[in-house]
Structures are given as C-alpha cells and as structure tokens.
Amino acid sequence: MDLTRIPGIAGSREGTKGEEAMELFEVMTTAGAIREYLDIPDSDNVLYDILDKARCAPSGGNRQPWRVLIVKDQDLRRKVRDLYSEGWKEYMAHVKKGLVPFAPAEDGTWNGPAVDLTEAAAMTTSNQYASSLHESPILLVLLARLTDLSCLDNGLNRQSIVGGGSVYPFGHNILLAARSLGLGGVMTTVICRREPEMKTLFRIPREFAVAGLITLGKPKKLFSRLTRRPVEEFAFVDVFDGVPLTH
Ligand SMILES: Cc1cc2nc3c(=O)[nH]c(=O)nc-3n(C[C@H](O)[C@H](O)[C@H](O)COP(=O)(O)O)c2cc1C
C-alpha cells in the first residue's frame, strides 16, 4: 500500500480530511466477523503489510507487548483447531444455559465455571468455524508479554481489564487493516481456555499470555453494515443514570 496516496497523511498527494474520515468510517462500520474464507494469494506479503499498519496501535507506556505467531505447519494448525474446539464447547455449555460464559459476578470476581466442564468436554458437536479453523488462509496466535502490561486496576479485587487494552487494539487494527484491503477475519479468545497446552505446543515463554487467535482470508460472503446498540443506549451525560447523549 502506498502511504503517500492516503488522504490526510503528511506528504500525501491527494485528498482532504473529509475524504479520509469517510474511508475510515466505511472500514469501521463494515469490518465484521468473517469466519469463512477463500485463499489469499501472496499471503506473506499481504500479512506483512497488515502487521506494518497494525503495529501503530496504542499500548500502555507504548510498551507494545504483542507478539504474533504465524501458524503454517499443518500439524500445529490441526492441534490449534482441536484445542479451540475444546474451548468452544466450554463456551457453548454456558450459552446453552443462558449464561454469559466465564463472566465475573456483580462484585467483579469470578467464582469458577457456572457449568460442569467435564460435561462440556463430552459434547460431540463443534461449529463450522472451529472444525475448519486449520484451513484458514492466515492463522495467527496473538500473545501478550505480561511483564510489559501496566495493569492500573490491579489490586481492586475484581477482574482486571486494563491489561487487555494494550494488546486488543493491536488485534483489532489487524482486522481493520485487513478489511481495508478487502480481506475479512475474526479475533477469537476461546483458545485461551487451553493456554497451558498452547504454551507447550508453541514454546511460548513463561511471561507471555495467549491473548487469542486471529484468522484472515478473502471473505466468502459480501461485507455488510454492522448492527450495534445505538449511542443513546450506552452514552450518558455526567452520571451513569444521566440523560442519554442524542444528536
Ligand atoms: C475479545 C473478543 C473475543 C472473541 N472471541 C471469539 C471466539 O472465541 N470465537 C468466535 O467465533 N468469535 C469471537 N469473537 C468475535 C465476536 O463474536 C464478534 O466480534 C461479535 O459477535 C460481533 O460480530 P460482527 O462484527 O460480525 O457483528 C470475539 C471478539 C472479541 C472482541
């Protein structure tokens, strides 16, 4: 991608700020989860380009705690698929009971799984994405270096959330960059249920956590406009029970 042709970039040969915003907004509002793929020709070069844009993501103290493993080996890919499927079953066992999988309680602490995970392991079905994961044109393992995370909410006696903010913007940047190139993908986290096995499999050092997987490819279906809750439902003036923001 030629950066000098992107409107609004210093030294750019064309465009205005208005055009830049439109282009970005189009990407943001259509970069939905894509789970079925066609192959990407020259995928290493494309991936390099995507990662070269995604690396501009913000992180606490700019410590850039992310690492990415590009999984090409077929045996490793099949093992990741199998571990993902196990995590997916644990996730679905909660969903089937109407529960938010692995969510903390109202006090922000986690009281252990809300379902019998051995029952979940006995589930025989998997979903289409899980069972074809190993065939994804690009399969990435996303890692975060724990010792680089400034978790400012540590010690609050609730689920920590701040640390993830130093790695998931990078993950989403990958998806946005891919979307801007006409590619689709999804970032997934059920693999984190099998972090110990993943660390052994990929020789991941102790101070790293598995933050998720990202799969990318040419989308089999057309992109569509994303649907989300309207602003009025989550943005309030001044106080939590304040007036919803409207326009
Ligand atoms: C932190 C995070 C974890 C996710 N984990 C999974 C996952 O394990 N498996 C999966 O299929 N999708 C996963 N997703 C994708 C979400 O299901 C998807 O973003 C959401 O349903 C919205 O889909 P849409 O953009 O197509 O509307 C995850 C997304 C995020 C941001």
Q: From the CB of 226, is ligand 1 less than 6 Å away?
A: yes
SS3 of the chain: CCHHHCCCCCCCCCCCHHHHHHHHHHHHCCCCECCCEECCCCHHHHHHHHHHHHCCCCCHHHCCCEEEEECCCHHHHHHHHHHHHHHHHHHHHHHHCCCCCCCCCCCCCCCCCCCCHHHHHCCCCCCHHHHHHHHCCEEEEEEEEHHHCCCCCCCCCCCCCCHHHHCHHHHHHHHHHHHHCCCEEEEECHHHHHHHHHHHHCCCCCCEEEEEEEEEEEECCCCCCCCCCCHHHCCECCCCCCCECCC
Q: In this structure, which residue's CA is closest to atom 25 in ligand 1?
A: 32
Q: Which of the four pLDDT bands, split at 50, 70 and 90, describes residue 119?
A: confident
Atom of ligand 1 nearest to the CA of 88: 8
188, 191, 193, 227: residue to mutate for ligand 1 pocket, most atoms within 8 A of CB: 188
**Residue 123: what pLDDT?**
79
Convert the pLDDT of each residue in 213-247 to its tens digit: 999 999 999 999 999 999 999 999 999 999 999 99
pTM of the model: 0.92
**In sequence order, what are the residues at sequence separation of 6 or more whose Cβ sits closer than 8 angstroms to the Cβ of residue 83?**
191, 194, 197, 198, 201
How far apart are alpha carbons 137 and 141 in whole angstroms?
14
Q: Which domains does the chain have, with CATH numbers?
A: 42-220 (3.40.109.10)
**What is the rounded distance in angstroms from the CA atom of residue 66 to the CA atom of residue 209?**
10
For the stretch 18-72, pLDDT in tens is 334 349 999 999 999 999 999 999 999 999 999 999 999 999 999 999 999 999 9
**Which tokens sit at 184?**
């689709």
Q: What is the pLDDT of residue 201?
A: 98
Which residue lies with its CA nearest to atom 13 of ligand 1?
A: 188
The protein residue whose alpha carbon is closest to atom 4 in ligand 1 is: 188
Q: Tell me: the pLDDT tens digits for 152-206?
A: 999 999 999 999 999 999 999 999 999 999 999 999 999 999 999 999 999 999 9
- Residue 192 Cβ inside 6 Å of ligand 1? The answer reads no
Q: At a CB cut-off of 8 Å and minimum separation 6, what does 182 contact?
A: 218
32 CA: nearest ligand 1 atom: 25
Residue 16 in this model has a pLDDT that exceeds 60: no
Q: Is 190 in the pocket of ligand 1 (CB under 6 A)?
A: yes
Q: What pLDDT, on a 0 to 100 scale, did the predictor assign at position 126?
A: 76
The answer to whether the CB of 165 is under 6 A from ligand 1 is no
